Amino acid sequence: MEFLIKLITFLLFLMPSITSSQYIRNNIFNNRKIFAKQETISSYAVVFDAGSTGSRIHIYLFDQNLDLLHIGKAVEFFNKTTPGLSAYENNPEQAAKSLIPLLEQAERVVPKDLHRKTPVRLGATAGLRLLNGDASEKILQAVRNMLSNRSTFNVQPDAVSIIDGTQEGSYLWVTVNYLLGNLGKKYTKTVGVMDLGGGSVQMAYAVSKKTAKNAPKVADGDDPYIRKIVLKGKPYDLYVHSYLHFGREASRAEILKVTHNSPNPCILAGFDGTYTYSGEEFKATAPASGANFKECKKIIRKALKLNYPCPYQNCTFGGIWNGGRGSGQKHLFASSSFYYLPEDAGLIDANIPNFQIRPVDLEIEAKKACALNFEDAKSTYPLLEKRNIVSYVCMDFIYQYVLLVDGFGLDPLQEITSGKEIEYENAVVEAAWPLGNAVEAISSLPKFERMMYFV
């Protein structure tokens, strides 16, 4: 009996210890704090580029650091349709309907469960800026209605608008420097951009705080020369200006206006026709002697208003301040038709995303082109003939040369990177303003850091 009492006492003594060790063991293996794998934050962005010659759709996928992720094998989804919204000046509803095929593609690319969280934007550029009266606003409202009624994406009140030229230039600057990994660096390490669209041409580059502070004031209603933007926590002062009427297609109209209905020395021998732009027709006839390089150059200089009074210390053309031409303009990336013209003329391999070119190279090709007659030019430039614009090859090459050298003040021997795309993460991304716009859209979402915003 005494033995039994001692045994029970011994067991009772051990029980708290056993219970405690079981508790500790269970706590370690069953109730330990498990750190869940950090949720991957990502978001799609859909941007429509409603340009003067067509509408394009860009779809991007960003991670939590606002780095681009692959969509399949590519880093962006891109497609386009023609004509542009401005072609439907008298039919706003049809303008909106023209975007539906692109919208349907976007809805297939973006996973269905993410549609409501995916911002969609449409930016209309020079084509709609040039329409008369309230035509552009009627088109934009029809697009808003279509997206609100038809789209499953996140459509904010300001999602559809005409982006002004300074926005277009600023977004392109962000795009190029984003893809090159320059954002967050000193302004002297960034790259300036030039964009020759259909209706306008933009120049944008970063300047010093001193230059920005001393920038000329503009008249009420005009776009300021300097836009302040914060990227990756670093503020930048951007000189940016858009020259409406001086895009590739629009400039032809301005050049033909100089000679009115008379023969124009920029037109190839043997061509007699009309050029239509923004609903207006212009006589396009060659002189009896054909195109003439020197005479065409004079006409283009007049069209650019190079002799226009300059109220500032330095101007580009038309009395526009040039931004001081500081370190941010040392390296330049030229997009859109600065790439497409050499590509269509067969000067470069169409499979390369970008290449180096000098203004003097454009001048050399212009002299060759101007010496041809219309029939010979068809076989020399088959891609331009296919696009039905070979008659303007002399004009287009001289225009780009004069624009760069006489307009923007570049050295004829300065090397410029001209491109339609930039390499990024073993893929290529189009060098266009929509990516900059998408970065801003994603930055504004609550779950992302505010990487980009205008001040």
- Using CA atoms, how far apart are residues 183 and 191, in angstroms rounded to an integer? 10
389 contact partners, CB below 8 Å, separation of at least 6: 396
Domain shared by 320 and 264, yes or no: yes
68 falls within a domain? yes
**Bond before 287 cis per omega within 30 degrees:** no
318 falls within a domain? yes
CATH number at residue 177: 3.30.420.150
63 falls within a domain? yes
58 falls within a domain? yes
Q: Name the domain count of the chain.
A: 2
364 falls within a domain? yes
Domain shared by 244 and 113, yes or no: no
Domain shared by 354 and 403, yes or no: yes
Domain shared by 279 and 408, yes or no: yes
What 3 state SS string does 336-389 have?
EHHHHHHHHCCCCCCCCCEEEECHHHHHHHHHHHHCCEHHHHHHHCHHHHHCCC
415 part of the active site: no
Residue of 76, 89, 168, 249 with catalytic role: 168
Domain shared by 356 and 389, yes or no: yes
- Domain with 357, as residue range(s), is 168-419
The tens place of each residue's pLDDT in the chain, 455 residues long, gives 554 445 444 444 444 433 333 332 333 223 333 333 345 679 999 999 998 889 999 999 999 888 999 998 899 999 999 999 999 999 999 999 999 999 999 999 999 999 999 999 999 987 888 888 899 999 999 999 999 999 999 999 899 999 988 899 999 999 999 999 999 999 999 999 999 998 899 999 999 999 999 999 988 888 899 999 999 889 999 999 999 999 999 999 999 999 999 999 999 999 999 999 988 999 999 999 999 999 999 999 999 999 999 999 899 999 999 999 999 999 999 999 999 999 999 999 988 999 999 999 999 999 999 999 999 999 999 999 999 999 999 999 999 999 999 999 999 999 999 999 999 988 999 999 999 999 999 998 888 878 888 98
- Using CA atoms, how far apart are residues 392 and 276, in angstroms rounded to an integer? 13
178 contact partners, CB below 8 Å, separation of at least 6: 435, 436, 439
Structure tokens at 234: 């670093």
HSE-up of 146 (CA within 13 Å, CB side)?
A: 23
312 falls within a domain? yes
Domain shared by 137 and 254, yes or no: no
Domain shared by 306 and 402, yes or no: yes
Domain shared by 312 and 381, yes or no: yes
CATH number at residue 152: 3.30.420.40
Domain shared by 179 and 322, yes or no: yes
Domain shared by 229 and 356, yes or no: yes
Domain shared by 141 and 177, yes or no: no
248 falls within a domain? yes
73 falls within a domain? yes
* Burial of 397 per CB tally in 10 Å (0-12, 13-18, 19+): buried
- Per the CB < 8 A criterion, the answer to whether 452 and 443 are in contact is yes
Domain shared by 395 and 356, yes or no: yes
